């Protein structure tokens, strides 16, 4: 999706973000490979190079692996970023709604606006000879916005034009921030895609390959940074939203609209209280699967922490960071996660070791 309108689409039609649920089976990989993405620190890994042959571990459909490899090679970007984009934008082309225009007009496996697509429709030509004989979404004539191969090639060219290179580094993260929309609202979505790209690369890289590992930093600072960024994105509240591992905005039973009205169905993608707290912990680098509020009542160590406390009961969960409450609240835009006062009466306090 191009940067001109995506920042608005996040709220007016969150379906455009295509942060589709991944299978719960990846939970073990997520727990084994914690990834912390700090905008100021990612530059430290900028020397990593793009891996060679793309694998199909961790959910990458085998039919698309050679497409990512061909497009990445032609446009000097990381193939696992293309895979991660494909997953977050259209669930690897498995989301039927991706093939009809959303309210902003974005469409296709990589969710391009037609006006943006016009500049990248011919990106497939340098790799035309490598087009597979068959794949799920074929469209003729080629240069078609809903064609898998054409769309993946276009995304690679677009990322390259936005400044991405072959590494999972600061340049690539910045390109994703622009691809996903307008910062600061686009930053959490870009981080999610970047995190997924690292997980996919780590799951598929050979023993002689280069696995990117994000640098570590003080957990308290990471929690504050990620909490700020999720709040800035104004992600709507959706009951049941975010209950995947890793947690990310998804459809729920009902959601809050931008005017904070209940909306049924799947027009919005968002987070509920436990999905939001799970996403905060996971993106900050805490090893945990996505939990519901009841599970958080026994998470970590008993009692309140000095810097960070999880407050949970069977109906709700939120956190306090350095004395400030953060979680889903009607006081926040669209009822989503952000900074807002909460009562602690009736809640069980838990904390992370050392905090």
What gap in Å lies between CA 342 and CA 348, rounded to an integer? Answer: 13
Block residue for tokens 């509920």: 272
Token pair for 284 = 């900050």
Would you state the pLDDT for residue 215? 33
Q: According to the model, what pLDDT value does residue 293 have?
A: 97
pLDDT computed for residue 184 by the predictor: 85
Examine residue 184 and say whether the peptide bond preceding it is cis (omega within 30 degrees of 0).
yes
> Would you give per-residue pLDDT tens digits along the chain (355 residues)?
433 333 222 333 333 333 333 333 333 333 333 333 333 333 333 333 445 568 777 789 989 999 999 999 999 999 999 999 999 999 999 999 999 998 778 899 999 999 999 999 999 999 999 999 999 999 999 999 999 999 999 999 999 999 999 988 889 999 999 999 888 888 888 988 988 888 788 677 643 333 323 335 789 998 998 898 888 878 889 999 888 877 878 778 888 877 667 777 655 678 999 999 998 998 888 888 999 999 999 999 999 999 999 999 999 999 999 999 999 999 988 899 999 999 999 999 999 999 9
Query: Per the structure block, which two tokens stand in for 295?
Result: 């599970």
- Bridge partners (DSSP) of residue 107 are 112
Query: pLDDT at position 107, please?
Result: 95
pLDDT at 266: 55
C-beta of residue 147 within 8 angstroms of C-beta of residue 139: yes
From the list 295, 158, 321, the residue with the least C-alpha distance to 230 is: 321
Q: Which of 235, 225, 234, 2 minimizes the C-alpha distance to 113?
A: 2
Taking a C-beta distance cutoff of 8 angstroms, is the pair 88, 102 a contact?
no
Tokens encoding 76: 């000097």
Q: CA-to-CA distance for 336 and 329, rounded, in angstroms?
A: 6
pLDDT at residue 216, as a whole number: 54
Q: What proportions of the chain, in percent to the nearest 5, are helix, strand and coil? A: 40, 10, 50
CB atoms within 10 A of CB 80: 29
SS3 state at 319: strand
| Helix (H), strand (E) counts: the chain | 11, 8
Task: Give me the sign of the Cα torsion angle 137, 152, 111, 327.
Answer: positive
Residue whose C-alpha is closest to residue 172's, from 201, 147, 150, 146 = 201
Domains of the chain (ranges plus CATH)? Answer: 3-204 (1.10.530), 219-351 (3.90.1720.10)
What the block records as the tokens of 308 is 């960070």
Chain centroid to Cα 89, Å, comes to 9
pLDDT in the model for residue 18: 39
Q: What local confidence, expressed as pLDDT, does residue 212 receive?
A: 28
pLDDT for the residue numbered 262: 76
Q: What is the pLDDT of residue 267?
A: 58
CB–CB of 291/246 below 8 Å? no
Q: What Cα–Cα distance (Å) separates residue 179 from each residue in 5, 25, 49, 302? A: 10, 28, 21, 42
Q: Which pLDDT score is estimated for 265?
A: 61
Q: Maximum distance among all alpha carbons in the chain?
A: 65
């Amino acid at each position: 999706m191009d940067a001109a309108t995506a920042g608005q689409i996040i709220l007016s039609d969150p379906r455009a973000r295509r942060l589709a649920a991944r299978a719960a089976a990846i939970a073990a990989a997520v727990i084994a490979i914690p990834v912390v993405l700090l905008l100021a620190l990612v530059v430290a890994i900028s020397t990593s190079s793009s891996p060679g042959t793309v694998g199909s571990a961790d959910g990458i459909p085998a039919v698309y692996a050679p497409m990512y490899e061909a497009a990445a090679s032609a446009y000097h970007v990381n193939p696992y970023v293309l895979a991660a984009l494909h997953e977050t934008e259209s669930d690897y082309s498995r989301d039927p709604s991706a093939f009809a225009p959303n309210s902003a007009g974005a469409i296709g496996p990589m969710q391009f606006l037609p006006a943006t697509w016009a500049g990248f429709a011919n990106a497939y030509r340098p790799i035309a000879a490598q087009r597979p004989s068959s794949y799920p979404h074929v469209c003729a004539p080629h240069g078609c916005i809903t064609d898998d191969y054409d769309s993946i090639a276009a995304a690679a060219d677009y990322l390259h034009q936005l400044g991405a290179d072959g590494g999972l580094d600061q340049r690539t993260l910045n390109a994703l921030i622009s691809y996903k929309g307008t910062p600061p609202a686009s930053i959490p979505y870009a981080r999610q895609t970047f995190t997924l790209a690292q997980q996919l690369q780590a799951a598929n890289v050979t023993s002689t390959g280069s696995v990117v590992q994000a640098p570590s930093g003080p957990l308290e600072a990471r929690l504050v940074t990620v909490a700020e960024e999720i709040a800035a994105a104004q992600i709507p509240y959706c009951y049941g939203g975010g209950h995947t591992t890793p947690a990310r905005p998804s459809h729920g039973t009902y959601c809050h609209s931008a005017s904070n009205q209940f909306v049924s169905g799947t027009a919005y993608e968002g987070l509920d209280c436990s999905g939001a707290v799970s996403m905060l912990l996971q993106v900050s680098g805490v090893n945990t699967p996505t939990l519901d509020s009841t599970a958080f009542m026994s998470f970590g160590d008993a009692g309140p922490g000095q810097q960070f406390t999880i407050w949970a009961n069977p109906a709700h969960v939120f956190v306090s960071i350095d004395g400030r409450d953060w979680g889903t609240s009607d006081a926040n835009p669209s009822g989503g996660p952000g900074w807002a006062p909460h009562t602690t009466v009736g809640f069980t306090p838990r904390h992370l070791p050392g905090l």
